[in-house]
Amino acid sequence: MQSPMPLLTKYFDEIGAGPVVTTPDPESAKSLPVFVSQTYELHRANLFGREYSLLLCRDKERPTPAEAEKHLKLARSALGPNEGVSIPGQRDWPDGARKSG
């Protein structure tokens, strides 16, 4: 599966977030439940002056929307005040990123 990062970067630019630098965050990923960290790569980004945790699916086999919502709640609980954003995969583009909040 091709990385969604180039499309994500383009999307951020299109919504006016400007150039956004995302950084992998393997240290924070250790605080996630194992099955969540195995399903997603955790990245950090600053969007519009706010720090976000980005959960990017690792595989073609993606969780259902209901599973992704549960994973997002677990990630928010584990990561603290940062708002998690789930980007399920390229098939959802260019409709944009799905943001729960």
What global pTM score does this model have?
Answer: 0.74
DSSP per-residue string spanning the chain:
---SHHHHHHHHHHTT--S--EEE-HHHHTTS-HHHHHHEEEEEEEETTEEEEEEEE-SSS---HHHHHHHHHHHHHHH-SSEEEEE--GGGTTS--B---
User: What class, spelled out in words, does domain 20-92 have in CATH?
Assistant: alpha beta
Greater model confidence, 57 or 3: 57
Q: What is the pLDDT of residues 83-95, one digit of tens each?
A: 666 554 534 444 4
* Banded pLDDT at 50 (limits 50, 70, 90): confident
Residue 2 has pLDDT above 70, yes or no: no
Mean of per-residue pLDDT scores for the chain: 78
